[in-house]
Chain A
Amino acid sequence: MTVLTIVSQKGGVGKTTVALNLAFSIAGRGWKTLLIDTDPQGSIGLSLRGGVAGRPGLADYLRGDMGFEDTVLSTRVPELGLLPVGRPTFSEACTWLQEPDAQDAFRHLLKRASEDWDIVLIDTAAGPYGPARGVLGMTPAALVLMQAEPLGIRSLPSYLEALAEIWRHGEGGRVVGVLLTMVQPRRAASMAVVQETLRLIPAELGFDAVVVRDPIFLEASAEGVPLGLLRRSPPPAAAVFEQIAAELEPRLALCTEEVEDEARSLVD
């Protein structure tokens, strides 16, 4: 099983949005995908209709009140499961996933998840501290989201330094990509950040895809659904998560075991 943690230095760059839509696309490509919300604020639950926010979840599992099977929600997409954060108390949220007992329980959870799922996608709280730090210390691969604005790129060195520090003290980990979000293709300043970022970061960490700033995300958020379920025929912005998923697969060593994975003729 592969574990991918969606992280960012700053808040509001689209982690929860990307985690949800990317999980939807990866599952759509046939991988058994479990999306775990580790943000004590429960952003995934708040982004989804169907009363997800009120359901038990990670907090209940960490407390030992509920088992793994009882906290995982199945979804309309057969390959996609959801583990909401549940309802951590304020004091639980203050030390969220940073105490040894909770960390042991979380590691156990990942181990248990590996029996049923090909990939676990983890949504986190922002920044390298507190809750996100706890999760990063226990997960091996991070996708770093960066808002396409000058502040985003300027904060990258200190964020990478923090990640290196967390992984040095934890179980080790690596960045598998830097994904640009909130890109405004019609604004030169936004595109300049995109270009400069792609020039500065190692080529293998860049993506051809970027997530553009698009009001459709607010619409989907208002409806409480991933973009792919907003309409019968999903909006163009939904397609980008397909591409990100495709770009990520080799980096995560997600590959089909079938020998017969060759190009097929369009016309026989």
Chain B
Amino acid sequence: MKLALSWIDPLELRTRFEAVVEKPPAAPPWPEGRSAGQRVAPVASQTQPPPAVELACLQPFPSQEGGLSRRLASLIDWLRGQMKAQAVFICDDDCLVLAQWGCAPELAAAATWLAATWNSAGPRVCPSGDGTVAVQLDNNAWLMLLSGRSVWGRVYLGVCIDQLAEPLTIRAMQDALSSALKEK
């Protein structure tokens, strides 16, 4: 998503700023005891297919060094490997794309639109910013949208997977996102 005047990669700029600003205190972790995925679209409640991701053999997202772009790239790799993501999309609260993989333009548009809506309505509906939004794209494609906090503000992660994720899987993705956003 190119910007009109600056011609620069916002992600690169952020990584550059990371190197020259005082390290602010790390983003607060997600409050304990929340029920992940509590606002998952109710449409999925009837016939539950077996979980797509075997939780038992799920590798947790390894803690990352390096700049934001590197950490987000690792997150995408992890989502592809562990969650069998078909596409991944990460944008900030201004809908600037920070990283993506395998996203058709329509999917990117849908994900940014959801993120923008969440970003403007979210604080009124759910001030903690918790939760997940899930949209069924077709019989075996779901777009799961999660949000996390970074020192740059809120960041939205859209993951396209073949089944609606289980709460524990969502929790794992949420933790992975928080970890990738955390400054070392």
Contacts and interface: CB of A to CB of B under 8 A. Distances in A.
A200 B20 contact: no
A196 B4 contact: yes
A201 B17 contact: yes
A163 interface: yes
Per DSSP, chain B at the interface is loop
Contact of A202 (B4, B5, B151): B151
- What interface size band does chain B fall in? 20 to 34
Interface stretch (B8-16, B51-59, B121-129): B8-16
Interface in A197-254: 197, 199-205
Interface residues of A, number: 25
A167 interface: yes
B2 to A, nearest CB: 12
A161 interface: yes
Contacts of B13: 156-157, 160, 200-201
B113 interface: no
A178 B167 CA distance: 42
B16 A150 contact: no
Contacts of A174: 20-22
Contacts of A156: 6, 8, 13, 16
Nearest to B151: A202
A150 B19 contact: no
A167 B18 CA distance: 13
Contacts, number: 66
A203 B13 CA distance: 13
Contacts of A66: none
A203 B8 CA distance: 18
Contact of A153 (B5, B19, B96, B151): B5
A192 B16 contact: no
Given A199-B94, A200-B13, A202-B151, A154 B7 contact: yes
A201 B16 CA distance: 10
Contacts of A189: 5
Contacts of A161: 16, 19
A189 B4 CA distance: 10
Interface string A252-263: 000000000000
A160 B153 contact: no
A193 interface: yes
A197 B17 CA distance: 13
B6 A167 contact: no
A164 interface: yes
Given A160-B17, A160-B20, A202 B8 contact: no
Nearest to A150: B5
A202 B17 contact: yes
A228 B159 CA distance: 56
B181 to A, nearest CB: 14
Given A157-B12, A164-B16, A202 B21 contact: yes
9 pairs of A and B residues whose beta carbons are closest in the complex: A160-B16, A164-B19, A153-B6, A150-B5, A175-B20, A174-B22, A163-B20, A157-B16, A164-B20
27 contacts: A150-B7, A153-B5, A153-B6, A153-B8, A154-B8, A156-B6, A156-B13, A157-B9, A157-B16, A160-B16, A160-B17, A160-B19, A160-B20, A161-B16, A192-B5, A196-B4, A196-B5, A196-B6, A200-B6, A200-B8, A200-B13, A201-B17, A202-B14, A202-B17, A203-B153, A204-B24, A205-B21
Interface of A: 150, 153-154, 156-157, 160-161, 163-164, 167, 173-175, 189, 192-193, 196-197, 199-205
